[in-house]
């Protein structure tokens, strides 16, 4: 068994695609219309194109419990998911220059350094570097 797709809820797939590709550097893997303005929209890491796909899921627009959960996580400051990076400091510098908003600046805790950013689509995303 292996993980092939991880879903992240987004309220605007087009806006999310632009943020995740233009700011975070992901690549579009699949973009297929599903009807009703929804798409099967997956991304992959430019560093691991054969790795797991990130599905930009329009769930909060169609399923109220998804919206409530997403809102609660965002309001509490909890990250929806985590992306590993080689250097949190380098990503923080690069992304802040691109206008990305961080709620937690690079912070060392035990054997990791992490930072938390807002993806502009309803989620906090944690970046983690293993020291």
Helix (H) or strand (E) holding 18: helix 13-18
Distance CA 109, CA 30 (A): 36
- What is the rounded average pLDDT of the residues 51-62? 95
Distance CA 116, CA 125 (A): 6
Note the pTM of the prediction, 2 decimals. 0.94
Residue that has been written with the tokens 């099967």 in this structure: 40
Return the domain boundaries, the chain. Answer: 5-130
Residues 6+ apart with CB under 8 A from 130: 84, 111, 112
Q: Give me the DSSP letters along 5-17.
A: EEEEE-S-HHHHH
Could you read off the pLDDT of 101-130 as tens digits, one per residue? 999 999 999 999 999 999 999 999 999 999
Distance CA 108, CA 7 (A): 28
Q: Give 5-130's CATH code, choosing from 3.30.1370.10, 2.60.40.10, 3.10.180.10, 3.40.50.300.
A: 3.10.180.10
Per-residue pLDDT, 103: 97
Instruction: List the beta bridge partners of residue 67.
Output: none
Residues 6+ apart with CB under 8 A from 53: 4, 5, 6, 29, 30, 42, 43, 44
């Amino acid at each position: 068994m292996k993980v092939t797709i991880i879903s992240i809820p987004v309220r605007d797939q087009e806006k999310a695609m632009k943020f995740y590709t233009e700011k975070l550097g992901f690549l579009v893997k699949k973009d297929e219309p599903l009807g009703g303005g929804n798409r099967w929209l997956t991304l992959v890491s430019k560093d691991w194109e054969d790795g797991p796909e990130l599905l930009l899921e329009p769930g909060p627009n169609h399923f109220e419990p998804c919206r409530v959960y997403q809102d609660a996580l965002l309001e509490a400051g909890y990250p929806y998911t985590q992306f590993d990076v080689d250097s949190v400091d380098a990503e923080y510098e690069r992304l802040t220059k691109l206008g990305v908003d961080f709620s937690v600046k690079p912070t060392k805790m035990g054997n990791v350094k992490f930072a938390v950013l807002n993806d502009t689509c309803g989620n906090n995303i944690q970046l983690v570097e293993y020291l």
